[in-house]
Structure 1
Amino acid sequence: MEKNISRNENKDFTEGIEISKILERESKLYLFIKRSIDIICSLAGIIVLSPVFLIVAVLIKIEDPKGSIFFCQERNGQHPNTFKMYKFRSMVHNAEELLKDLQHKNEQTGPAFKMADDPRITKVGKFIRKTSLDELPQLFNILKGDMSLVGPRPPIPREVREYNSYQMQRLLVKPGLTCIWQVSGRNNIGFDEWVDMDLEYIKTRNLLLDIKLILKTVKVLFGDSNAS
Structure 2
Amino acid sequence: MPLSKRLFDFVLALVGLLLLLPLFALVALLIKLESGGPVFYYSYRVGNGYRIFRFWKFRSMRPDADQMLASMKNLNQYQASTSAAAGAMQAASGTCACGQTCQAQLIDKQGNKVCEKYHRQQQKATGNAAFIKIVNDPRITRIGSFLRNTSIDELPQLFNVLRGDMSIVGNRPLPLYEAERLTTDQFAARFLAPAGITGLWQVSKRGKGGKAGMSEDERKALDVEYARNYSLKKDLGILLRTVPALFQQENV
Q: TM-score, normalised by structure 2?
A: 0.75
Deviations 1:6-56 (A, max 9, x none): xxxxxxxxxxxxxxxxxxxxxx8xx11111110000001100111111111
Question: Secondary structure in 2 aligned to 1:83?
Answer: strand
CA contact (8 A) 2:189 2:227 kept: no
- Aligned residue for 1:79, secondary structure, equals helix
2:73 match = 103
Match for 2:42 among 72, 97, 102? 72
1:6 is matched with which residue?
A: none
Gaps of 5+ in 2: 80-128, 205-209
Work out the CA distance in 2 between the residues paired with 1:174 and 1:195: 15
**By how many angstroms is 1:227 displaced?**
2.5
Mapped to 1, the partners of 2:22 and 2:244 lie a distance apart of 20
Higher helix share: 1
Q: Distance in 2 between matches of 1:126 and 1:64?
A: 13
Structure 2 equivalent of residue 207 of structure 1: 232
- Once the two structures are TM-superposed, the CA of residue 219 in structure 1 deviates from its matched residue by 2.8
Correspondence for 1:12: none
Residue 182 of structure 1 pairs with residue 207 of structure 2: no
1:1-228 equivalence runs, <5 A: 31-65=2-36, 67-109=37-79, 110-165=129-184, 166-184=186-204, 185-221=210-246, 223-227=247-251
Amino acid in structure 2 at the alignment position of 1:137: P
> Percent identity among equivalent residues?
39
Structure 1 outlier segments of 4+, above 3 Å: none
Larger of the two Rg values belongs to structure: 2
What's the offset of the Cα at 1:164? 4.2
Unaligned runs of 5+ in 1: 1-27
RMSD across aligned C-alpha pairs, in angstroms?
A: 1.5
